[in-house]
Structure 1
Amino acid sequence: MSDQITGTTASDIADSVRSLRDRGILGAGSPLPPVRELAATLGVNRNTAVAAYRQLAQAGLVISRGRAGTVIAGLESVAQEGYAANTVLRDIGTGNPDPRRIPDPAPALMNIASRPVLYGEPVIDRDLNKWATEWMAKDLPDREFQITITSGAVDAVERLLAQALMRDDAVALEDPCFLASIHTVRLSGYRAVAVPVDAEGMTVDGLRAALDNGVRAIICTPRAQNPTGASLSAQRATALRAVLADYPYVLIIEDDHFSMLSQQPYESLIAPAHRRFALIRSVSKFLGPDMCLAVAATDSETADRLAMRLSPGTTWVSHLLQRLALTQLTDETVMAEVAAAAAHYAERNSLFAARLRAHGIHADAADGLSLWIELPPTARTVAERLMRRGWLARTGDDFALDERAEPSHHLRLTVHDLTDDETDALVADLVAAAR
């Protein structure tokens, strides 16, 4: 292939590769020659070839796979959350809240009608801004911050990364990782740097290695990490803040998605002196995924940059939706339902995990909507055996950042909405499938 690439400058070489791609000569996944080989073929300095590949990577046209070389980028498929389509199996890998535990919005809808909001008005509802500021201030003491309202947590993360990074910049992600974060980073052309997660959250050595690797942003789940359910312990959070003390301008994004449902206290990577941060809390887990609303508390510079990307007439969040969320969040009856849902998820997961442990299967009753179960056979083997018994499970392989990693031995199971009979059947089938 190197004999078809032409040029003597980095820009000319990059244009040549792009032309070959546009003409269909190079397709998604097509390998490009190693830098040294390309430089020798074209008679240019090795650094010129490196610069050409860097331009292509920043434009999202190629992907570097380290020792596996550089290939033409394509639309890589990434596993998605939610119900699997076109299956007759009982889906136990959804990651969904129980629809019966989502408060009915009908009473609130009767009370949100007001005057229309027009172009040029403030993008955040004044009363929601006040409520959200008080909510976030409890966990950001002695910090100055501003509130931004986005169309959910994933939208907030995508905009936060876009205002701070360029293509091919490195982002630290938890490993195993939330599916939406994997998708966002890959689609945007950033480089994911894996930070292992254990029972107390991100590991100290993993974060230190990521910072040494030049990451410009960190996405962390302080509670109910998806898929493991782990939450940051106070001791781990203190150790991680100490590591971050020398990196005050690295953007810390904390996705506290399970906030009102969590059984764990909020611990944070964000130290009082850290300069770039965002604490995000969406309402999707307790008011419903279709609400598509999140609150982001950020430093003032980040808030100003976000404001440029959330302007009236383009992408601000509907004030009707903002008023609906506020009406529910300030309703004592709704908040009592949210508290009951939190207790329900914790109890159902705890009981299921205890039953598995009684059969010798490792399962921690961690925080979140799902359980992270460790098995002796590979997860794919167990999942295939469960399919023959009528169950559709999600393996840990979906959540791995490194596609070349060893096969996972974990399943993520959503079991809080099973009936007692279904629970009995699933426990029995899991025990049989794990043998």
Structure 2
Amino acid sequence: MSIEPAIADRAPADGAPSDESTGRFIADLDDRTPAGIAAAVGRLIRSGTLSPGSRLPTVREVARELRVSPVTVNQAWRALAATGAIVARGRAGTFVGEQISATPVGRSQRLHPPSDSAFRVDLARGTPDPELLPDLGAALRALSRDQAGDLAADYLGEAVLPDLAAKVRADWPFRAERLAVLDGALDAVDRLLAVHVRLGDAVAVEDPCFPPFLDLLAVMGARPVPLRLDESGPLPADLARAVTKYAAVAVILQPRAQNPTGASFTAHRVRELSDVLDGSRTMVIEDDHSAGIASAASRSLGTRLPGRTVHIRSYSKSHGADLRLAVAGGPAELLDPVVARRMLGPGWTSRLLQRVLVNMLDDNSAGKAVATARAEYRRRSSALRRALARHGVTVARGDGINLWLPVADENAAMISLAAAGIKAAPGGPFVVGDRPSIDHLRLTIAAVTDADVDWLATELAAATTATPTYRRVRRA
């Protein structure tokens, strides 16, 4: 809903003066885009220069001060209002909110709602098959008493174990100036955004997108700019639009096994996207969440843009979620502030867990287990797609553990599947831009067994054509 009428040019009904400090402060702005204006006002609010309840100047006052269009200021005000930083009160004017909202919009909660229902098959989890993970116990047993004691007692040791750094660098997609170990891929993305993105900034994201990314952007008051996808990843034209029209300060990408579509970068697409970003200052964040279990080659924009790309490789899906380990590699300019800020909190990721991961990466049996899982996920995905094709349902081929199933109506499809004892993830939380012409469900194939494939395909095919039913009301 637009807040333009509430922040129109009329003076407050009570004649109270506006807070002119806002206009004077942001009059020196170099960035007079909507994002730049929103970020400047956001800094005033966070610093306390603008206190809760302060009335903001009218749109025309700010536009006149900055010598920009009132439309530009309105866009900035809408971005601020979406976070709760400012509140429109009709004819009274627009005021600084009591506090900037820190509550996620809840896409992640919509994706995994609590449920007491029993389902025969759960295709909504988005997690790997526990039976295909390597033996964590063997890696723990390999941790010697001396190693454990030395690591546990050391507050001042290296934040990244040298052995792990050497292992990672051996097959990293580009020469990374700095490596950091964090508590999973989402933690790495969160910390990068928190340090480098400000209130009102535009951030380009894939559409459909991993819902927690959108929740993170909502918390910090950043604006997601959607990038449509094909089988090779984001469309270069959409990225060019995000950079030139919206001045995106960052772009979040999933280079392979994109969640939810399974799309993976080609070498040609990497060149196209890099060419778009060449000459810009846009930070590239790559979440390679399915390293190990993805069949596609490891590709990164860092091969062409090493000074602005942070590539994140996590081990949750390949080696175990409770390891909570991800390695981020990229330029010191982007990673050093993250590491420095983290030292004021947890400091570092447990070096004991890092040692466990090193042991698993060195262990031949663990390596074979990961390779077996990769082949098995590919086989299960192919088996379900072939079974669906026999029912006339075509699903785009993707990598990893998810399928993006087109349906006539998301809610009707969910109800149809639930009645059959099948739990699926709704596609709505993944959508960034306008509602697409075709609804989708995300299906995780990790738990699909051979015995269930034909039955699942029959029920899924029926769900794709399910439509809402409405009870007719008899006229009196």
For Structure 1 versus Structure 2, the TM-score category normalised by the shorter chain is 0.7 to 0.9
Write the mapping of 1:29-428 to structure 2, written as runs, cut at 5 A: 38=58, 44=61, 46=63, 50=73, 57=80, 60-62=83-85, 74=101, 75=103, 76-80=105-109, 84-89=114-119, 90-112=121-143, 113-115=148-150, 116-136=152-172, 139-140=173-174, 143-212=175-244, 213-247=246-280, 249-311=281-343, 314-375=346-407, 377-402=408-433, 404-406=434-436, 408-428=438-458
Change (3 A) 1:273 1:153: closer
Distance 1:18 1:410, change over 3 A: farther
Provide the secondary structure at the position in 1 that maps to 2:328: strand
Q: Larger radius of gyration, structure 1 or 2? A: 2
Match for 1:363: what amino acid?
A: V
Task: Compute the displacement of 1:46 (Å).
Answer: 4.7
Partners of 2:113 and 2:362 lie apart in 1 by 31
> Which has the higher mean CA deviation after the structures are superposed, 160-169 or 218-227?
160-169
Partners of 1:430 and 1:348 in 2: CA distance: 15
Q: What's the offset of the Cα at 1:259?
A: 1.5
Structure 2 CA distance, aligned partners of 1:51 and 1:196? 26
Relative to structure 1, is the Cα distance of residues 320 and 414 closer, same or farther in structure 2, using a 3 angstrom cutoff? same
Indicate the residue corresponding to 2:471 in structure 1: none
- Letter of the structure 2 residue corresponding to residue 180 of structure 1: P
Partner amino acid, structure 1, of 2:397: A
Call closer, same or farther: CA 1:82–1:102 in 2, change over 3 Å: farther
Report if the CA contact (8 A) 2:306-2:330 is conserved. no
SS in 2 for 1:363: coil
CA displacement at 1:309 relative to structure 2 = 2.1
Q: 1:27 corresponds to which residue?
A: none
Q: Mean alpha-carbon deviation: is it higher for 348-357 or for 385-394?
A: 385-394
Q: Flag the 1:52–1:396 CA change in 2: closer, same or farther, 3 A.
A: closer
Contact 1:279/1:297 (8 A) holds in 2: yes
Contact kept? 1:119, 1:312, Cα under 8 Å: no
Evaluate the alpha carbon distance shift between residue 170 and residue 53 of structure 1 in structure 2; reply closer, same or farther with a 3 A threshold: closer
1:78–1:59 distance in 2 versus 1, CA, 3 Å: closer
| Contact kept in structure 2, 1:397 and 1:407, CA below 8 Å | no
- Are 2:123 and 2:447, in contact at CA under 8 Å, matched by a contact in 1? no
CA distance in 2, matches of 1:206, 1:100: 40
Give SS of 2:108's match: coil
For 2:16 and 2:116, locate their aligned partners in 1 and report how far apart those are by CA, in whole Å.
47
Q: Contact 1:169 / 1:191 at 8 angstroms: preserved in 2?
A: yes
Q: 2-side partners of 1:311 and 1:286: how far apart? A: 28
1:353 Cα deviation from its structure 2 partner: 0.5
Identity across matched positions, percent: 30
Relative to structure 1, is the Cα distance of residues 117 and 353 closer, same or farther in structure 2, using a 3 angstrom cutoff?
same
1:65-115 CA-to-partner distances (Å, cap 9, x unmatched) read: xxxxx9976522222466854332342111110011111211111232231
**Structure 2: distance between partners of 1:182 and 1:63:** 21
Partner of 2:19: 9
CA deviation after TM superposition for structure 1 residue 222, in Å:
0.8
Alpha-carbon separation, structure 2, partners of 1:174 and 1:230? 11
Q: Distance in 2 between matches of 1:56 and 1:411?
A: 29
Higher deviation after alignment, 72-81 or 300-309: 72-81
Q: Which amino acid aligns with 1:269?
A: L
Q: Distance in 2 between matches of 1:406 and 1:51?
A: 27
Amino acid at match of 1:57: L
Superposed CA deviations along residues 405-427 of structure 1, whole A, max 9, x for unmatched, are 24642111112312333322221
The CA deviation at 1:228 is 0.3
Residue deviations 1:288-308 (CA, integer Å, cap 9, x gap): 211110011111222322220
**Number of aligned residues:** 408
SS in 1 for 2:262: coil
Report the aligned-residue RMSD. Answer: 3.3
Task: Give SS of 1:384's match.
Answer: helix
Query: In 2, distance between residues paired with 1:53 and 1:165?
Result: 15
Q: Partner amino acid for 1:121?
A: G
Unmatched segments (≥5 aa) in structure 1: 22-31, 65-69
Q: CA deviation at 1:394?
A: 1.4
- Evaluate the alpha carbon distance shift between residue 201 and residue 397 of structure 1 in structure 2; reply closer, same or farther with a 3 A threshold: same
Is the contact between residue 380 and residue 445 of structure 2 (CA under 8 Å) also seen in structure 1? Answer: yes
CA distance in structure 1 between the partners assigned to 2:114 and 2:454 by the alignment: 23
Question: Normalising by the residue count of structure 1, what TM-score does the alignment of the two structures yield?
Answer: 0.84
TM-score, normalisation: structure 2: 0.77
Q: Tell me, yes or no, if the aligned pair for 1:175 and 1:197 is still in contact at 8 Å.
A: yes
The unaligned stretches of length 5 or more in structure 2 are: 1-5, 7-11, 24-44, 88-93, 466-476
SS at match of 1:129: helix
